[in-house]
Structure 1
């Protein structure tokens, strides 16, 4: 639970968040006094049933960000996790929406919301307006015995009601039909959420909310920190299994709210409670879809994943399943779900036609197999090359602790292990292919570097080696020479160094591996002697000791350690080049 916030004043926070929606969606306007976000009259092309929802703040993008053509007509906001009062709702119905064709109010099943919205609805009816109210309760985390007369809480499945009813209203349907379809969606939706942590409300003292243990997840936790059904230490697979059981197991008489058969068409909504990374939500989505198919035979016709109804920055997610039903009209639930909505809170961007007839072609592995690296025609002795490389790579692996020590002082400590991974990968490759063509021999090594080395140094080495292979091919095409001697390698190395400069501005003096590489290339070109070139690389690496970095992560790490150690990348390369020279003797 994080108790740190950029905005700690809850009143300012709510008002500024509501105002932001008007900045990102020009169809909306804000009644600041009553915290009502509503659709501008000229954004609605023709009179229609108005759809109103709302509740406590802290569940964004629901409710206010669902205001827009094709969705809600207005949303009424309370303070964080607290219902708006009846007067706010009454003013919304009477003053902020078009009520000529009737108004549907959708509210989640929380006592404060039901009472305050209900009071406003009755006042509007007393004033002669046609108003209906739908109470949404989809949370399977609350069983029949626990819910009692109150019933289930409303959670993220509510947004499906908003979207479908809003689309139907936009198509000109009458209030009775919009209400009936909204009720149909509500009665056929079941949801449950789970969280790794309770959330902290801005403006409250830290520690007011009970925290979960490090390895605990609370299944069925409400979106206002309400207690869940159970606490578990299960991994994601076990957690999802339990959540789906709560939602779909008909043998559980306390929670068997919705019977879903494999033959039923369904919509699956996977909702981020606010604090889960997009990356992790992707993994959660895959796990849920796989389990719901494998264990229940359910293959949803729509899978919608994203952030729709949060619990501030809740470190959890919720699942909702809507069993599709016949609406009895020309508009199916799917048509209405897929209909466009001009609001920032709805993020399902796939068209109906794409879902109905999805593309089936893929580009299979090997699609580009016709594009192959060609021999350069320059020959090497593969046995000598393997021998020299083996010696150099073993020297580099042995130097890993030293390189790591240097990088721990001036970087993030991964340079040595990255070089070691690459070296071990190349050692595994040596001897498997007696390739005598210089460029093809180098290509095989490069593919290992690309696969085994990551980070900045891995990318630099891969760029350089690819450019070196290209340099060999260029040298071969410009002469009749058949052997890759020191002169050929020197010219190709010079070309590769020039090519690498297009991707990194590193030059000698910047405290990078170029401080070792550039002297090696220069000396090899001048003398044709690999041993002298390796000595020049070693001298260049030693000069980086005390040199202030102008490139790389060392720039950000800072500190005074650079005075005592050489650049780890330059040192590692110098070790390798020295070993290569020794191996060629």
Structure 2
């Protein structure tokens, strides 16, 4: 693999690359603190739905290259191949794009992106801004059996979804119309990629990944260096034939994601994963088109798009995407093809920036900063001393259980669950003990907002993101009940918890029986509807205990294996830790 780079500092490289978009398109601004590229021409255009996307660096021109008139309003970058943080995304949604017509957030289907973008969406809704969430997934290389509840990964076909969203928003479509269009597009979109080699990340040592042997190709290699569905030795015609079969074989129950009939019209997108020369990409486009004409002549390819849209650093590979054009039901000028061809000045798309953009003088960028303190107070009252007593009881029980949680997670996970939970619990306890402003505050929503901020800063990983989504939506669920001044009751909490469970369900498919923290959380919330906190905590304990006998359907335990050693003995660490916290709360009541 190619391990030589001009830049040795990946962090500096990322910032430099993002800033370059403001040099090539003067209508854009760059917030280096949050790594957000955004449009700053909002004073010259009509109000519209804002489209926000993003993901890890290393996929350029995605995603910052698709910010501009006709596509996106902002894009947020993480480090190489890693999701941006919740705070980066929240900043973009609330402070870098107009919000009066709503904000549609569209990440790709990877766990970190789904969870972190999801937290930001919930925080925006909790702050009173309408934000909706749509996840992009188009890869067919991982079939239904292996993909399971996670679903299809997002790869280069997602670029077409981004363009459709931006064009319809620019044309005045409302947020519901745009979401409907994207759901229609996703159900008619398929992609698959192949690569001759893994990639090397600037600033790192030699990769430990196996090199792909000469003459072989990795079918379905992911855009984050993930191994493909299989490695084969084949000629280019054979490879293209296999890829098209994965895309279009309607008799394959595992990969048949697209239904079509003879005469249906398609857009074909050939994407360069970053390291293939323009000469070879042109040749690959021709090879794919030849095979479509020969083996799938019943399909009508009405547009062919070729280029570098979504990469894997200098990946020595390419992907094929096919979008079936169907009626959008939106009327004249808003067909899929018309929206794809609508004007755009985003550098990552195919249309050059118009001369008028260059002629205009732009004022200096003034950054707005929205903080938790800016959110509106509520009339939902609670005695701080009582709330502190209850939460502290749960926190202390959780801290006491940390050695067991860590031991369990060392066997069935990566060993960091207990440490992460303890770190968050201790930080919340410190807030309750030492922040004098809280002791004089009886607004439960404002208190919880402070706690949420601490959890987000101190808890990382998947569990941290799940807790952040849950707590942010809990705030929104409480705020929705702010009708009149009243003390918070068990019924108030139960309703808010229902809202939280619904919100978490948007970002994870986990249910009772999947061996996750949901095995404790869902029984607690369901039982609390009857008004008995002690019974609800007992239900959470029983749910956590039951995970000892479950095989994992989600989470890192899926990959660990070795069930013979722990099945029937070790509970899910996340479910156990949450159960301990909830039992501690119940003990204080």
* CA-CA distance at 1:41 after TM superposition: 3.4
Counterparts of residues 82-481 of structure 1 (less than 5 Å): 82-297=82-297, 298-330=299-331, 331-347=334-350
How far is 1:348 from its partner?
Answer: 6.1
Query: Separation in 1 of the partners of 2:80 and 2:246?
Result: 29
Runs of 4+, deviation exceeding 3 Å: 41-44
Please give the per-residue CA displacement for 1:54-79, whole angstroms capped at 9, x wherever unaligned: 00000000100000000000000000
Normalised TM-score (structure 2): 0.58
Checking the alignment, whether the CA contact within 8 Å between 2:267 and 2:303 is kept in structure 1 is: yes
Q: Distance in 2 between matches of 1:186 and 1:259?
A: 12
- Provide the rounded CA distance (Å) in 2 between the counterparts of 1:277 and 1:217: 17
SS at 1:319's partner residue? strand
1:451-485 alpha-carbon deviations (Å, 9 max, x no partner): xxxxxxxxxxxxxxxxxxxxxxxxxxxxxxxxxxx
Asked if structure 2 preserves the Cα contact closer than 8 Å seen for 1:200 and 1:209, the reply is no
- C-alpha distance in structure 2 between counterparts of 1:256 and 1:42, whole Å: 42
Deviations 1:118-173 (A, max 9, x none): 01001101111111111111101110011011111100011101111101100111
Quick check: 2:69–2:344 contact (8 Å CA) kept in 1? yes
1:11 aligns with 11
1:43·1:69 contact (CA, 8 Å) conserved in 2? no
Q: Alignment partner of 1:135: what SS? A: coil
Distance in structure 2 (CA, Å) of the matches to 1:43 and 1:335: 26
Matched residue SS, 1:136 = coil
Q: How many Å apart are 1:262 and its aligned residue?
A: 2.8
Alpha-carbon distance in 2 for matches of 1:260, 1:239: 23
| 8 A contact 2:187–2:257 mirrored in 1 | no
Q: May I ask how many residue pairs the two structures share in their alignment?
A: 349
The answer to whether the Cα contact below 8 Å between 1:137 and 1:151 also exists between their aligned partners in 2 is yes
CA positional deviation for 1:210: 2.2
Structure 1 unmatched runs, 5+: 350-585
Contact 1:198 1:211 (C-alpha < 8 Å) held by counterparts: yes
* SS across alignment from 1:29: strand
Question: Equivalents in 1 of 2:349, 2:113: separation in Å?
Answer: 23
CA distance in 2 between counterparts of 1:261 and 1:204 reads: 48
Hey, what's the Cα distance between the residues in 1 that align with 2:44 and 2:70? 9
Root-mean-square deviation (CA, aligned residues, Å) is 1.1
Indicate the residue corresponding to 2:25 in structure 1.
25
Q: Displacement, 1:233?
A: 1.4
Matching residue of 1:2? 2
Q: Rg larger in 1 or in 2?
A: 1
In 2, Cα distance between equivalents of 1:44 and 1:203: 42
The Cα shift of 1:176 comes to: 0.8
Cα distance in 2, alignment partners of residues 58 and 84 from structure 1: 12
- Alignment partners' CA distance in 2, 1:325 and 1:299: 13
Distance in 2 between residues matched to 1:65 and 1:294, nearest whole Å: 35
**Aligned CA distance change for structure 1 residues 348 and 244 (closer, same or farther; 3 Å):** farther
> Which residue of 1 is the match for residue 76 of structure 2?
76
| Cα separation, partners in 2 of 1:193 and 1:116, compared to 1, 3 Å | same
The CA distance in 1 between the partners of 2:166 and 2:44, in whole Å, is 12
- Map of 1:46 onto structure 2: 46
Distance 1:211 1:43 in 2: 51
Q: How big is each residue's C-alpha offset from its partner over 1:35-55, in whole Å with a ceiling of 9 and x where there is no partner?
A: 000011347511110000000
